[in-house]
């Protein structure tokens, strides 16, 4: 079994030393955002991630029905894997506080039914993206955050498939229409996951895409509580971590095959009070 998860950020000098001396970590470490695949059978990392189970984009928009949807559930993450995982932290030059954070995609978006120019009858991205927040120690280990905080929030933005730029808004009757709509800001929730672990999660169950295409979602984590900075400077250091989702596809209502079977983590979260649609 291969367990996929994304961790982004930058290395502190001590963590750089620890990771580069670890035989399981690639030697060509890059200070830019990175994505890894963890093989729990071999207990090692690979530099490249199998980012998408969606086939190559079609030559034109009329061929979207030819896209093969061979979804593989990406939500299974073993607790020991998460706790053993070496990770990268946010750049200490951007934040000098004592805490460092990492993000893990616990559930990846796979597809969406486009809603077009209207906000009526819009459908959410399926399955709902779920991001978990972790603290990272000086050795680069991930540990779940178990803290009720009104200062934690996360924003979701739509990016092009290559992850290099935001998806551009479209013009309609002289107005700019954003390609993504819905609840793009979410607060943190303390939840118990499908492994029986308690942690801090951000669940995006109400985001929709206007037009067909292949995209990624970018999630930005904010901690507005900064005891090491005056209140007037807090906004400059509130971004603590960022992560991209896998590539997903938005298609027309006629070609949309329907919602996928809900993963166990979605079912478990619904029993804890979240408004989530379940399909068995």
Q: Tell me the pLDDT tens digit for each residue of 40-56.
A: 343 333 333 233 333 23
pLDDT band at 235 (very low <50, low <70, confident <90, very high): low
How does the average pLDDT of the chain come out, rounded? Answer: 70
Per the CB < 8 A criterion, the answer to whether 171 and 181 are in contact is no
DSSP state of 112: E
The Cα 151–Cα 219 span in angstroms is: 16
Dump pLDDT digits (tens) for 89-140.
Answer: 333 333 334 578 889 999 999 999 998 887 777 899 999 999 999 988 777 7
Residues composing the chain: 280
Four-residue CA torsion sign, 44, 49, 50, 52: positive
Listed range (22-36, 185-199, 244-258) with the worst mean pLDDT:
22-36
Residues 6+ apart with CB under 8 A from 153: 185, 186, 187, 188, 221, 222, 224
pLDDT of residue 141: 76
The per-residue pLDDT for 226 is 61
pTM: 0.67
CB contact at 8 A, 206 and 165: no
- Cα gap 225→223, rounded to integer Å: 5
Q: Is the pLDDT of residue 81 over 80?
A: no
Residues in contact with 120: Cβ distance below 8 Å, sequence separation at least 6, in sequence order: none
Distance separating alpha carbons of residues 4 and 167, to the nearest angstrom? 25
User: How confident is the model at residue 175, as a pLDDT?
Assistant: 78
Residue 201 has φ and ψ, to the nearest 5°, of -130, 155
- pLDDT value, residue 49: 29
Nearest-angstrom CA–CA distance, 178 and 129: 19
Which residues partner with 170 through β-bridges? 177
> What is the enclosing helix (H) or strand (E) of 185?
strand 185-187
Question: In the prediction, which pLDDT does 76 show?
Answer: 41
The domain made up of 2-270 has a fold known as Immunoglobulin-like (2.60.40)
Q: Name the percent of the chain lying above pLDDT 70.
A: 60
Question: Quick one: tokens of 10?
Answer: 């930058």
pLDDT tens digit sequence for 20-78: 444 443 333 333 333 333 333 433 333 332 333 332 333 333 333 333 333 333 334 45
Phi then psi dihedrals of residue 236, to 5 deg? -80, -15
Query: In this structure, what token pair is assigned to residue 68?
Result: 């093969």
Q: Are 126 and 112 in contact (CB under 8 A)?
A: yes
Q: Is residue 229 predicted with pLDDT exceeding 70?
A: no
Given a cut of 90, is residue 204 above it in pLDDT?
Answer: yes
């Amino acid at each position: 079994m291969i367990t996929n998860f994304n961790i982004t950020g930058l290395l502190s000098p001590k963590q750089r030393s620890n990771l580069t001396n670890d035989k399981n970590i690639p030697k060509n470490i890059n200070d830019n955002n990175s994505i890894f695949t963890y093989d729990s059978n071999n207990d090692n990392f690979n530099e490249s991630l199998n980012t998408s189970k969606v086939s190559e984009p079609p030559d034109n928009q009329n061929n979207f029905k030819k896209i093969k949807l061979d979804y593989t559930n990406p939500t299974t993450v073993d607790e020991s894997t998460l706790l053993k995982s070496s990770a990268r932290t946010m750049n200490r030059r951007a934040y000098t506080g004592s805490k460092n954070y990492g993000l893990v995609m616990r559930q990846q978006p796979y597809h969406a039914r486009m809603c077009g120019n209207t906000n009526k009858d819009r459908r959410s991205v399926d399955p709902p993206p779920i991001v978990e927040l972790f603290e990272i120690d000086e050795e680069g280990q991930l540990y779940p955050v178990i803290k009720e905080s009104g200062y934690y929030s996360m924003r979701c933005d739509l990016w092009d498939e290559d992850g290099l730029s935001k998806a551009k808004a479209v013009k309609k009757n002289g107005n700019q229409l954003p390609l993504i709509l819905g609840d793009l800001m979410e607060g943190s929730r303390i939840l118990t996951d499908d492994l029986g672990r308690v942690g801090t999660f951000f669940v995006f169950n109400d985001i929709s895409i206007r037009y067909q295409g292949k995209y990624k979602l970018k999630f930005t984590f904010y901690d507005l509580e900064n005891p090491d900075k005056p209140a007037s400077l807090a906004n400059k250091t509130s971004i603590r971590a960022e992560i991209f989702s896998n590539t997903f596809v938005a298609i027309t209502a006629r070609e949309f095959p329907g919602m996928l079977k809900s993963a166990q983590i979605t079912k478990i979260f619904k029993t804890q009070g979240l408004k989530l649609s379940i399909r068995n």
